[in-house]
Structure 1
Amino acid sequence: MKKICAFLILILPTFIYAAEYPYFMKSTKALGMGNAHYTINSDQYSAFYNPAGLAFNKDSRVDILNPQFDMGKNAMDFYRDAKDTDWESESEIAKLIRDNIGEYQHAGVSLFPAYYNKNFMIGVFGNARLNAVPRNKVYPNIETEFFVDRGITAGFAGKFLNNDSLSLGANVKLIERESLVETYTAADLAKDDFDQIIEDDLESGTGILGDIGAIYEMKSLPMNPRLGTAVNNIGSTDFGDAKDMKTTLTLSASISPQILFFESDIVIDYVDVTKAYDQDDDLGKRIHVGAELRPTNLQFFALRAGINQGYPTFGASLDFNILKIDYAYYIEEVGAYAGQWDDERHMLQVTLGF
């Protein structure tokens, strides 16, 4: 058990000094298209983007099992090095840290089984993620930030005005959070009671947060332009040292042109307009652009691409109704501004439902 905990601390969630944008859950589909999703989302992930998107669901669906795996390239390289490390030896752990100095490590896993239809969604979610950065060749240590979020969410949405051009939605999330923000030395990681050290360092809290959103469709215009907005994480929490979340405002716009034999969506999001978070004070970190292409006669297949915080992303999905497979390659900015410190990642999600 100690080896497992030590490995997780070294390769999983976000850093004390780094500036990754805080979140509860992310959509694999959205990340494939630059994490731009606020005017086209229509599944359970509306609860973490724009709940007005629920109004665009055409059918009812139950996702029974949908594990999502997220890992950075640096973490994959670290894992290969870690397999040959003696976790009882301080010197070997110190060497492992020195060999990976300054390399941002990220990994995570989540589940979000849910039921959703045209106007309603309810689901339970869980997400564990870890980021870590090895530091200091003279006195090797690793700065870590670890989150475990779990809870239940439910949302409603509807269409209004004479031609159903205005969609409004809202949802509520009941959340329990555990987090850890600490620096561990090689000596700490080699201790027999390292499991207990982690347990003592974990902080916990609960919260009730809501989201509201709107999407306006200009149906009389070509390519069905949409304008959207969402206010996320409204309410109060008792997370305390487990890290509170701030209320944010996002603006979004999209079009859906027919391109030859493809249906498409093209989206741009401007996240955290009011700069609630220091992590995204830079304009480049708050801009997300993406596109999705679907062959008109092959609706089970989709290709995605985008720009996430100035970096390219791409993704793809196969949807056989009972079985869905989604993949996304993306780069996350973990520095204070776009272009400072990038972390290359892969996300895979397999969904069973009907």
Structure 2
Amino acid sequence: MLKLRWILTLVLAFSSVAKAQYVFEQARSIRSLAMGGVVTPFVQGAEAVFYNPAALSRVKGLDIQLANIGVGYGGMSIEEIQSLQNIDPNDPSTFNQLYGKRLWVGANAKAAVAFPYFGVGYMNDGEVSLELHNPALPQFNTYFRNDATYYLSGAFPLGPIFSFGMTAKRINRWGGDSQELDVTDIAGSSNLSDIGDHFSNKGQGYGMDVALMAELDALVLRPTIALVWQDVGNTAFTKTAGTDAPSHINQNLSLGAGMLLDLPGLDVSLGGEVRHLMEPDIQIGKKLHLGAEVSLPIIDLRAGYNQGYLTYGVGVNLLIFRIDAVSYAEELGVYPGQNADNRYMVGISIDLGFDADFKFTDNNGKKRKVKQRR
């Protein structure tokens, strides 16, 4: 009984329900989440491989993201998690305090190497969500997804202002769909692998991203416009295990614009982005993202507006290490303000950079180089 309680507690602690109107985005960076979800105009260094291949034109030396690890959580309070110890899997009435409450956990790890106009990367991204509902017949609406993705990116200039980029990627997906699990499905499990058997579908797919970016090298305000088309034509999967192939990834056309205010000892970035332009069934308020960042020599302060909710975040640069944190919300309903899911993420990144003369630059040095070359 004690072992079973521990299993249930662990499963719940790694869990928020995935509603039909949840807008899927693969492994957005913590910086982007803190800036309201704005990413395409502000991509830096090796991150271009994942989010905007045209931004590889900004790389002037060698940029290595040796490791970037992030974990996120949303849902129950600490007190509610502690109350899980009172659950008896053989007595559904003990689940009453959990009805209608969501738990979510997400984690990702990535690494990338970028040269001028070329980059490669790897990302492992996953999330689990869960909500107990239907008191007459208790069930857990459960979502599980894990993607392991390999990236190969390239870019080339189109005159002094424009650049074009492309990314080819291979995705190994496990899960990716919601399932209703009975209480007995969880209570009858002796270990976590038994629960994982309910998500046995796996598949492999190949996708493509394309991007077009324009940058103006003004004196103080430096504007950028980026058009990024991810998963062109949708990315479908071929079944490799289980009964069915995972659901395809919808294509995502995004238009972003931003500007950098370059001041002595201070950078201010302001921008906006509209995502999922090719999906008319998504309400416009859920497509809109606005964000800002104030960069000081060591600390970055961020805020934004994501799907109708304010976001806040901070980044700390310590030589080759960068620590980021964010508080944000995802809209699980049809329109902004209907069904917010508050989430928190923290992450750490190890970044190495070398300029065109192969001189080492730390994270603060990289920011100065970005200012000098733009």
Task: Name the CA distance, whole Å, in 1 between partners of 2:21 and 2:8.
Answer: 23
Q: CA deviation at 1:338?
A: 0.9
Task: Name the CA distance, whole Å, in 1 between partners of 2:6 and 2:174.
Answer: 18
Counterparts of 1:167-246 in structure 2 under 5 Å?
167-179=163-175, 180-192=177-189, 195-196=193-194, 198-220=196-218, 223-234=221-232, 236-238=235-237, 241-246=245-250
Equivalent in the alignment of 2:41: 39
Does the Cα contact within 8 Å between 1:48 and 1:232 map onto a contact in 2? no
Q: CA deviation at 1:167?
A: 1.9
Equivalent in the alignment of 1:263: 267
Q: Deviations over 1:219-274 (max 9, x none)?
A: 35751222210110125422564121011211111111246852111110010112
Which amino acid is 1:255 matched to? M
Q: Select 2:106's aligned residue among 99, 105, 108.
A: 108
Further displaced range: 336-345 or 320-329:
320-329
Task: Name the CA distance, whole Å, in 2 between partners of 1:9 and 1:19.
Answer: 24
Which amino acid is 1:287 matched to? L
Unaligned stretches of 5+ in structure 2? 239-243, 353-374
TM-score between both structures, scaled by the size of structure 1: 0.87
Task: Name the CA distance, whole Å, in 2 between partners of 1:200 and 1:73.
Answer: 23
Does the Cα contact within 8 Å between 2:37 and 2:289 map onto a contact in 1? yes
Task: Name the CA distance, whole Å, in 1 between partners of 2:189 and 2:252.
Answer: 43
Helix, strand or coil: the match of 1:137? coil
Alpha carbons of structure 1 residues 77 and 273: separation in structure 2 relative to 1, 3 Å: farther
Which amino acid is 1:188 matched to? D
Equivalent in the alignment of 2:74: 72
Counterparts of 1:137-176 in structure 2 under 5 Å?
137-161=135-159, 164-176=160-172
Q: Deviations over 1:169-215 (max 9, x none)?
A: 11111100011521122222110457435314421111111101111
Q: CA deviation at 1:312?
A: 0.5
Equivalent in the alignment of 2:359: none
Which amino acid is 1:165 matched to? I
Equivalent in the alignment of 2:371: none
Helix, strand or coil: the match of 2:33? helix
Alpha carbons of structure 1 residues 44 and 199: separation in structure 2 relative to 1, 3 Å: farther
Alpha carbons of structure 1 residues 220 and 61: separation in structure 2 relative to 1, 3 Å: closer
Equivalent in the alignment of 1:327: 325
Task: Name the CA distance, whole Å, in 2 between partners of 1:6 and 1:242.
Answer: 26
| Alpha-carbon RMSD | 2.5
Alpha carbons of structure 1 residues 230 and 95: separation in structure 2 relative to 1, 3 Å: same
Does the Cα contact within 8 Å between 1:61 and 1:115 map onto a contact in 2? yes
Unaligned stretches of 5+ in structure 1? none
Helix, strand or coil: the match of 2:279? coil
Does the Cα contact within 8 Å between 1:32 and 1:315 map onto a contact in 2? yes
Counterpart check, 1:351 vs 2:349: yes
Helix, strand or coil: the match of 1:153? strand
Q: CA deviation at 1:341?
A: 0.4
Q: CA deviation at 1:136?
A: 2.0
Which amino acid is 1:33 matched to? M
Which amino acid is 1:175 matched to? I
Count of residues in Structure 1 that have an aligned counterpart in Structure 2: 342
Q: Deviations over 1:285-320 (max 9, x none)?
A: 00000011112xx1x321111001110001111122
Does the Cα contact within 8 Å between 1:290 and 1:306 map onto a contact in 2? yes
Q: Deviations over 1:15-53 (max 9, x none)?
A: 454422113221111001001011111244434432212
Task: Name the CA distance, whole Å, in 1 between partners of 2:187 and 2:265.
Answer: 59
Does the Cα contact within 8 Å between 2:16 and 2:75 map onto a contact in 1? no
* Percent of residue pairs identical: 22
TM-score between both structures, scaled by the size of structure 2: 0.83
Task: Name the CA distance, whole Å, in 1 between partners of 2:173 and 2:16.
Answer: 15
Further displaced range: 141-150 or 230-239:
230-239
